[in-house]
A and B are shown apart, each in its own frame.
Chain A
């Protein structure tokens, strides 16, 4: 008598065609060994399914993964050799594959935009607007300023006295001289 073998797994998984399933079921009715094996497979499958139901929620997984960012493994500790002044910069072979072809790291794939960035961007925008408004307000020309007629002759004397020169009043220009530059 030929046992069901691999077809037993297909039967438990419901992957057999209609006729083949009928023939398998007929065989199971007559073969204790195959029936016991089929029962064991069904029990195993139920348990596996039960385990699948007990997996944590997707959101919890995401949060847990986010906590682990950046997620890349720490580089191995490299010791300097005697006479070596600095540690080699590269700790692994250079990846020469195109960027598009490189596998994304688990951390990068699951990275979420942290809320802090939005806060920083918002704060910066508010700061720029605040400073701009303050500068615009502070830049206003004060009104009701007095009209000023500078006393140039008085200034000329003050200029001369503080520079060690003769205080001159306002002479009128002479005609252009020939020895002038």
Chain B
């Protein structure tokens, strides 16, 4: 009897342990955090690159290209000048762009990443979702770099960064899909870490000062939006987490929800209303998740549709499958009795628990 009881106890304990392990494996961050170990030195280099972008004077030419799902490449060339304490002056001189322009981003904002392609918040997500490791040395524009890779759980590289050995600046950034192909590439074709000669030009020339929308949305604001029916998701597929939310106030407010896994960035802009057909005249119609959306593959992947009284605009720097999953997960307009019932139930649920 004692042996049988003991065996039963072990069996029950084993099953419980197996279920616990299954739960850890199938649920998100804790499992991935435990499984994907990052190199602290690699993370430190990335953090320093974000700081160096604000504290180092430099001027150079940045080459930005992205590949769409159809294989089309879109390229832009940007002249960049940075003066510490002042800001970054950018002049788009794209060979394939039909319009350029110049912009200025002030240094007073610590939220942006200084053209590194990530912000401090995104860096936290990167460390959570990927194994960030050093991968030897490389060379960009004649300068020796430390190569850092963000690797998936299967060991494949999802992102690759080149950090300048002298200045700590980010000189090259690659976003790779599951097959190892580049889907987004940003690098300096030339860079000089000196105080830009054109500083006086930056200061005196007419310039468009760009800054993120000032009205940041905190947790309570997002809860209030949900309560009033706005579709605000905390997460999207492929471990995309909401890391920033802002609102452009005005007659028709626009809510900007920023999602990232640390590498890919998906911006969702939500407005109240119905979609003006002229806005998507040059976009092509496609089906995502069984519903109609309008797509435009430029240097970003873009999607637009209207649903349930809201207009959604998605801009993404991410592999196409990631964008597709995100678009499919966002609300789309069901019709008929069941669609209306489903809409109503969702609305009632959000009223009952606005923070869900």
- Is B345 in contact with A171, judged by CB distance below 8 angstroms? no
The docked-state distance in angstroms from the alpha carbon of A135 to that of B338 is 10
- Is A171 in contact with B298, judged by CB distance below 8 angstroms? yes
- Is A145 in contact with B64, judged by CB distance below 8 angstroms? no
- Is B309 in contact with A145, judged by CB distance below 8 angstroms? yes
Chain A CB within 8 A of B275 CB: yes
- Given A156-B315, A164-B112: A149 and B278 within 8 A (CB)? yes
Which residue of chain A lies nearest to B252 when distances are taken between CB atoms in the complex?
A146
B100 CB, min distance to chain A CBs, angstroms: 7
Stretch at the interface among B32-40, B90-98, B131-139: B90-98
Contacts of B101 in A (CB 8 A): 169
Contacts of A171 in B (CB 8 A): 74-76, 94, 96-99, 298-299
Contacts of A162 in B (CB 8 A): 111-112, 119, 212, 244, 246, 256, 258, 267
- One of A157, A163, A176 near B210 (C-beta < 8 A): A157
- Is A169 in contact with B99, judged by CB distance below 8 angstroms? yes
Chain A CB within 8 A of B85 CB: no
Contacts of B181 in A (CB 8 A): 181
- Is B211 in contact with A161, judged by CB distance below 8 angstroms? yes
- Given A136-B341, A152-B313, A173-B298: A164 and B267 within 8 A (CB)? no
- Is A173 in contact with B213, judged by CB distance below 8 angstroms? no
B332 CB, min distance to chain A CBs, angstroms: 14
- Given A152-B302, A173-B96, A176-B73: A163 and B117 within 8 A (CB)? yes
- Is A142 in contact with B309, judged by CB distance below 8 angstroms? yes
- Is A173 in contact with B244, judged by CB distance below 8 angstroms? no
Contacts of A155 in B (CB 8 A): 254, 256, 267, 269, 313, 315
- Is B210 in contact with A161, judged by CB distance below 8 angstroms? yes
Chain A CB within 8 A of B183 CB: yes
The docked-state distance in angstroms from the alpha carbon of A7 to that of B196 is 137
- Is B118 in contact with A146, judged by CB distance below 8 angstroms? no
- One of B68, B122, B272 near A164 (C-beta < 8 A): B122
Chain B CB within 8 A of A148 CB: yes
How many residue pairs link A and B with beta carbons under 8 A? The number is 213
The docked-state distance in angstroms from the alpha carbon of A132 to that of B338 is 11
B interface, over-half SS:
mixed
The docked-state distance in angstroms from the alpha carbon of A66 to that of B265 is 68
Chain A CB within 8 A of B174 CB: no
Contacts of B96 in A (CB 8 A): 171-174
The docked-state distance in angstroms from the alpha carbon of A176 to that of B73 is 6
Please encode chain B, from 255 to 291, with 1 for each CB lying within 8 Å of some chain A CB and 0 for all others.
0101010000101010111111011000000000000
- Is B276 in contact with A149, judged by CB distance below 8 angstroms? yes
Chain A CB within 8 A of B179 CB: yes
The docked-state distance in angstroms from the alpha carbon of A159 to that of B70 is 23
Which residue of chain B lies nearest to A164 when distances are taken between CB atoms in the complex?
B113
The docked-state distance in angstroms from the alpha carbon of A155 to that of B302 is 11
B313 CB, min distance to chain A CBs, angstroms: 4
Contacts of A176 in B (CB 8 A): 70-73
The docked-state distance in angstroms from the alpha carbon of A138 to that of B228 is 12
Please encode chain A, from 121 to 154, with 1 for each CB lying within 8 Å of some chain B CB and 0 for all others.
0000000000110111111111001111110100
Chain B CB within 8 A of A165 CB: yes
5 nearest interchain CB pairs? A164-B113, A139-B344, A135-B344, A171-B97, A181-B181
25 A-B pairs whose Cβ atoms sit less than 8 Å apart in the complex: A132-B341, A136-B337, A136-B340, A136-B344, A139-B347, A146-B272, A146-B273, A148-B311, A150-B311, A152-B313, A155-B267, A155-B315, A161-B212, A162-B256, A163-B258, A165-B317, A166-B78, A166-B80, A168-B76, A168-B78, A168-B94, A170-B97, A173-B72, A174-B73, A174-B96
Binding site for A on B (CB under 8 A): 1-2, 5, 50, 62, 64, 67-68, 70-76, 78, 80, 90, 92, 94-101, 103, 105, 111-119, 122, 177, 179, 181-183, 186, 210-213, 244, 246, 248, 252, 254, 256, 258, 260, 265, 267, 269, 271-276, 278-279, 297-300, 302, 304, 306, 308-309, 311, 313, 315, 317, 337, 339-345, 347-348
Contacts A85-B2, A150-B313 aside, 4 further interface pairs with beta carbons under 8 A come to: A138-B347, A168-B64, A169-B101, A176-B70
